[in-house]
Amino acid sequence: MKQISIFAGILALSACGVITNPNTPTNPAANSAVSYSAIGASDADGVGASVPCLPYVSCPNGTGYVQVLARRYTAAGKTVTLTNLGVPGAVLSKTIQDIGNRLNRGILINFVNDEMPFVKTDSTLVTVFAGGNDANTLGDAVKAGFGGADPEGWLNTQIVTFGHDMATLVTGIRARAPKAHIIILNLPNLAALPYASGNSMSDRRGLQAIAVGLNARINAMTGQGATVVDMMCDSRLYNPAIFSSDGFHPNDTGYALFADLVYAAAATTSSTAPKSSCSFMSMY
DSSP secondary structure, the chain, as one string: -PPPP--HHHHHH----EEE-TTSPPPPPTTSEEEEEEE-SGGGGTTTSSS---TTS--TT--SHHHHHHHHHHHTT-EEEEEE---TT-BSSHHHHHHHHHTT-----BIIIIIGGGS-TT-SEEEEE-SHHHHHHHHHHHHTTTTTT-HHHHHHHHHHHHHHHHHHHHHHHHHH-TT-EEEEE----GGGSGGGTTS-HHHHHHHHHHHHHHHHHHHTTBTTTBEEE--TT-GGGG-GGGB-TTSSSB-HHHHHHHHHHHHHHHT-SEEEPPPS--GGG---
Is residue 71's pLDDT more than 70? Answer: yes
Report the pLDDT value the prediction gives residue 32, as an integer from 0 to 100: 82
Is residue 19's pLDDT more than 70? Answer: no
Q: In the chain, what percentage of residues exceed pLDDT 90?
A: 85
Q: Residue 269 — very low, low, confident or very high, per pLDDT cuts 50/70/90?
A: low
Is residue 4's pLDDT more than 80? Answer: no
Tell me the mean pLDDT in the region 76-86: 97
Tell me the mean pLDDT in the region 155-167: 98
Tell me the mean pLDDT in the region 65-87: 97
What is the model's pTM?
0.89
Mean pLDDT over each residue of the chain, to the nearest integer: 90
| Tens digits of residue pLDDT in 100-133 | 999 999 999 999 999 999 999 999 999 999 999 9
Report the pLDDT value the prediction gives residue 272, as an integer from 0 to 100: 72
Q: Residue 144 — very low, low, confident or very high, per pLDDT cuts 50/70/90?
A: very high
Tell me the mean pLDDT in the region 88-108: 97
| Tens digits of residue pLDDT in 181-195 | 999 999 999 999 999
* Domains along the chain with CATH numbers: 25-268 (3.40.50.1110)
Is residue 273's pLDDT more than 70? Answer: yes
Question: Which long-range contacts link 137-140 to residues 24+ away (Cβ below 8 Å)?
Answer: 137/91, 137/96, 137/99, 137/100, 137/103, 137/105, 137/107, 138/96, 138/99, 138/210, 139/1, 139/203, 139/206, 139/207, 139/210, 140/1, 140/3, 140/103, 140/105
Query: Pick from 48, 202, 204, 198: which is nearest to 136 by CA?
Result: 204
| Tens digits of residue pLDDT in 196-250 | 999 999 999 999 999 999 999 999 999 788 999 999 999 999 999 999 999 999 9
Report the pLDDT value the prediction gives residue 223, as an integer from 0 to 100: 75
Is residue 270's pLDDT more than 60? Answer: yes
Integer Cα distance of 44 and 40 in angstroms:
5
Tell me the mean pLDDT in the region 131-136: 98
Report the pLDDT value the prediction gives residue 31, as an integer from 0 to 100: 54
